[in-house]
Structure 1
Amino acid sequence: MMFRFLVVALLLTSNAFAVPPSTFPAAKVVAKQRVFYDQASSANGELYCGCKWKWTGKSGGRIDHKSCGYEARAQQNRADRIEWEHIVPAWIFGHQRQCWQNGGRKNCVADDPVFRVMEADLFNLYPSVGEVNGDRSNFQYAMVTGVSPQYGACPTRVDFTGRAAEPRNEVKGLVARSTFYMYDRYGLSMSRQQQQLLMTWDRKYPVSAWEKEWNSRTAKVMGHPNPFITGDRSWSLGHKPSREGIVSPVPIQAAAPSAKASTTGIVVGNRNSKIYHLPQNCPSYDKVSPKNRVRFSSEANAAEAGYRKAANCR
């Protein structure tokens, strides 16, 4: 028992001196130097196809197509290079920030410290074939059917019509646990369907030896582990996010909350109907059109701005 306590204490002490990258460009360099430095020729390969690569420049790489049987679908230049994939796309987590509504990604990078932390979070970054990274775009993960092989022997599939991507089996558990981490740490809202799929992948594809090592290396830089990899935290339907990564107040469009505020978080209002929805137990939360979304930090803020709670909230 004493030995375990000492080990935990040492880990906490070492993580206390961690210095996470503060920007996405810096994160790519750190990821190469501190996390994936020896993975270019390993059996694990890059994210989507398991390809090996050769490092080039500060954070880039050249794909070894023969190592994975990769064949370019349409973009040979991107098929030849490593790019850094946000497992949870910046478009997805950015759209849950007010800064994106006010000017897109460029505005978020300039004005929102939370977005910058999310964009540079190493637990959400993984090297991938550039072409597949581009094709995946901001699509959610899903089971893709009726799509023929698109990249030679690479098993990842992208459904452009259905706006969905299915990664190879070897990383389905990894992307599920990385997604849980991002949604939990930054208070994001996930649809019930997406939760159910990722929970299935989490159960079916347990943590591998490499995923444990990836977590260990990344934790030394970030100052904390991914609790969904270590097993200290699990995801269930209706999971309440810890919001541990919120490093500044969420930008809002109304006055400060009153004393009667009961529910906090990212509350979504519809500027046309003047109805608001909560992150939990409101079925229409993620159905409000982006152009009509107004975000508030609490129900009190929404009420003070003249909005009323959706009738279908349970």
Structure 2
Amino acid sequence: MGAACVVDECSTVIGQVRGWLGRSGAVALGLVLSTVLAAAPLTFEQAKTQARQQVYADRHTVGTLYCGCQWEWLGRSGGRVDLDSCGYQIRRQAVRAQRIEWEHVVPASNFGRARQCWQDGGRSNCKATDPVFNVMEADLHNLSPAIGEVNADRSNYRFAPIRGAAQGYGTCAMQVDFRNRVAEPPDPVKGQIARIYFYMHDRYDLPMARQQQQVFIAWDQQFPVSGWELERNRRISRLMGHGNPFVTGERVWTPGHRNSAEGVVSWLPEPAASGQDAGGVVRGNRNSKVYHLPQGCPSYNQVSPKNVVAFATAAEAEAAGFRRAGNCR
């Protein structure tokens, strides 16, 4: 598929956008239009098919993300893993160990929790009502083929060095510490994983703990971009309409990084102020004691209405004990 979507697929996308508009009354139209023009996937199912056909079609003999196992393609996006090719030992889930699954390197639950739809009804609600979540879930930069059992075991655990006992998988160097909910990937993919995390958090304005930043900054420096990582970025860029700037070197993550939030845009006006926030232009969050300005603060529209405390000025918010959000520019 080229730079523009074919008529049938464009019609499908338009139908999806109309459905989201009808259900939620708001949509990140700038983001959706950019993905339509670039023929990027708008759903996870579309993403898996495109990843199989246009990104990883010739990589099945090179190996899965964590274990380097070869596989045989099956169907539109699936595969059967050759466990002997990488010395993989099944831990418990024999069926999932033998199939390819598409791993969200940054777990869907991690970026989902940043969306109000997740608070209102979890993943199914986000898929039904939030086009930005669907684009995040379908972002090809965040998807890689992995052994199903490893995908399940890693779950949404944070990545970090593991000290002490951990679950192994034969000669596959992936390790999982279930007790502490930590996973440590093999050295060859640590840098790639770090740069995917940088990209997702920067583009979709996700918070990252300082300790996690320190781990990924170290991995980014210790394990530079490989030839395949550059090629993968080129292939995905043709589909998504943009690359990962942390792969190309256009951006470098440093402590205290300010997110660009380029993937979170909105064109519809906010609902008229009512009751709790009437008359105020500065929004405080009564739970976090953080305030957001209407300009320059990407999370201004993400404060739950029930948690909004309105102030006329930033000085008024600070006098009430609130502090400015860290992602304000």
Residue of structure 2 in register with 1:189 after alignment: 207
Matched residue of 1:103: which SS?
helix
Residue of structure 2 in register with 1:282 after alignment: none
Matched residue of 1:72: which SS?
coil
Residue of structure 2 in register with 1:81 after alignment: 99
Residue of structure 2 in register with 1:19 after alignment: 39
CA distance, structure 2, for counterparts of residue 110 and residue 248 of structure 1: 18
Matched residue of 2:168: which SS?
coil
CA distance, structure 1, for counterparts of residue 178 and residue 268 of structure 2: 33
Letter in 2 for 1:277: V
CA distance, structure 1, for counterparts of residue 97 and residue 56 of structure 2: 20
CA distance, structure 2, for counterparts of residue 251 and residue 80 of structure 1: 49
Residue 78 of structure 1 deviates from its aligned partner by 0.5
CA distance, structure 2, for counterparts of residue 252 and residue 140 of structure 1: 35
Select the residue among 186, 198, 219 that pairs with 1:201: 219
Alpha carbons 1:269, 1:296 under 8 Å: kept: no
Matched residue of 2:135: which SS?
helix
Q: What TM-score, normalized to structure 2?
A: 0.76
- Asked if 1:37 corresponds to 2:57, the answer is yes
Letter in 1 for 2:211: Q
Matched residue of 1:134: which SS?
helix
- Asked if 1:276 corresponds to 2:289, the answer is yes
CA distance, structure 2, for counterparts of residue 171 and residue 220 of structure 1: 23
Aligned sequence identity (%):
51
Alpha carbons 1:296, 1:302 under 8 Å: kept: no
Residue of structure 2 in register with 1:211 after alignment: 229
1:111-132 per-position Cα deviation (integer Å, ceiling 9, x unaligned): 1111001000000000000000
Select the residue among 57, 66, 88 that pairs with 1:48: 66
Residue of structure 2 in register with 1:303 after alignment: 310
Residue of structure 1 in register with 2:21 after alignment: none
Matched residue of 1:235: which SS?
coil
Residue of structure 2 in register with 1:285 after alignment: none
Superposed counterparts of 1:144-293, under 5 Å: 144-248=162-266, 255=273, 260-261=281-282, 269-270=286-287, 275-277=288-290
Matched residue of 1:170: which SS?
helix
1:31-70 per-position Cα deviation (integer Å, ceiling 9, x unaligned): 000100100012xx11111111110011001111111100
1:243-294 per-position Cα deviation (integer Å, ceiling 9, x unaligned): 1101437999994797753x8xxx7652xxxx42369xxxxxxxxxxxxxx9
CA distance, structure 2, for counterparts of residue 297 and residue 111 of structure 1: 16
Matched residue of 2:198: which SS?
helix
Moved over 6 A (4+): 249-254, 256-259, 311-314
Change (3 A) 1:111 1:251: farther
Residue of structure 2 in register with 1:11 after alignment: none
Letter in 1 for 2:256: G
Gaps of 5+ in 1: 1-14, 280-293
Change (3 A) 1:252 1:48: farther
Residue 141 of structure 1 deviates from its aligned partner by 0.8
Letter in 1 for 2:210: R
Alpha carbons 1:98, 1:252 under 8 Å: kept: no
Letter in 2 for 1:303: A
Matched residue of 1:66: which SS?
helix
Residue 176 of structure 1 deviates from its aligned partner by 0.3
Letter in 2 for 1:27: A
Matched residue of 2:169: which SS?
coil
CA distance, structure 2, for counterparts of residue 65 and residue 54 of structure 1: 11
Alpha carbons 1:269, 1:295 under 8 Å: kept: no
Matched residue of 1:240: which SS?
coil
Alpha carbons 2:166, 2:177 under 8 Å: kept: no
CA distance, structure 1, for counterparts of residue 149 and residue 281 of structure 2: 51
Gaps of 5+ in 2: 1-34, 293-300, 312-316
Letter in 1 for 2:202: D
Change (3 A) 1:61 1:250: farther
